[in-house]
């Protein structure tokens, strides 16, 4: 067999394989991996390990520039490698950087409800925001859709949505006191008190209730500041008052209520 004839036969075989691939593509749509969201644009980051998620942690980027945030989340940085599973941009676009089944590096030293390796037990969602500006309506709408998608696919409880500041009190403050937790709660995400909480009993232990909610109270003032940021939209580490107690009493009752 001459080299020219062998080359022609090789080309014929290649064209046949290509035709089969095209026909196969016509008969079935590409399968979306369950570890990735169909809502997001896949822009992979190499900064991850394998793990299983139980909660969702929300962050703000502090940069206020989605392009720069993507660069930081996808490269080796002078202050260490960081990543998140998702980035929600200001216009509502959702980018996915790490498979849901893999361990992104977003939580750092943190603790929540007895869990200490939060990178291994959480989904990290970054929101394009500088920490000083209101979050955009398209962002919140996209975030709600993303939370519905992720909790449904991964079996994460809808109330198990917290902020980076909640899991790392004293070290982190994101997603800032401007984040609309009440709006998220209106869609059924995150643990939230009753609209009109009833007063807590005189013997109610607010700090113990904070521990039940999930906060690490080993440094009470830092934990209280995180609680105030999340549930009262203010930056304050002032001692817990009657309003705080009523909120915590409502949260405790929700956590201890029998599952439907």
Q: Give catalytic residues, as residue numbers.
A: 126
The DSSP result for 167-225, as a single string, is: HSTTT--TT-TTS-HHHHHHTT-S----SSPPPPPTT--HHHHHHHHT---SSHHHHHH
Helix residue spans in the chain (DSSP H):
3-27, 66-73, 137-154, 164-167, 181-186, 206-213, 220-231, 242-256
Among candidates 118, 146, 133, which has minimal Cα distance to 62?
A: 133
**Are the CB atoms for 176 and 183 separated by under 8 Å?**
no
Buried b (16+ CB within 10 A) or exposed e, 70-89: bebbbeeeeeeebbbbbbbb
């Amino acid at each position: 067999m001459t080299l020219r004839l062998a080359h022609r036969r090789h080309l014929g075989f290649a064209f046949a394989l290509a035709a089969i691939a095209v026909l196969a593509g016509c008969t079935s749509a590409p399968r979306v991996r369950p570890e990735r969201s169909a809502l997001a644009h896949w822009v992979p980051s190499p900064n991850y390990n394998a793990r299983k998620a139980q909660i969702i942690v929300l962050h703000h980027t502090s940069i206020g520039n989605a392009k720069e945030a993507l660069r930081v989340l996808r490269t080796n940085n002078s202050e260490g490698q960081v990543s998140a599973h998702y980035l929600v941009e200001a216009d509502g676009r959702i980018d996915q950087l790490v498979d849901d089944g893999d361990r992104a590096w977003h939580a750092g030293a943190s603790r929540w409800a007895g869990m200490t390796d939060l990178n291994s037990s959480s989904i990290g969602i970054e929101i394009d925001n500088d920490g000083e500006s209101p979050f955009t309506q398209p962002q919140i709408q996209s975030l709600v859709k993303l939370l519905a998608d992720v909790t449904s696919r991964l079996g994460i409880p809808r109330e198990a949505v917290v902020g980076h500041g909640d899991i790392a009190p004293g070290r982190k403050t994101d997603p800032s006191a401007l984040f609309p937790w009440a709006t998220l709660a209106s869609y059924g995400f995150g643990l939230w008190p009753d609209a009109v909480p009833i007063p807590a009993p005189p013997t109610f232990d607010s700090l113990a209730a904070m521990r039940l909610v999930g906060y690490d109270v080993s440094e009470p003032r830092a934990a209280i500041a995180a609680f105030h940021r999340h549930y009262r939209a203010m930056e304050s580490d002032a001692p817990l008052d009657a309003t705080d107690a009523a909120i915590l009493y409502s949260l405790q009752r929700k956590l201890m209520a029998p599952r439907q």
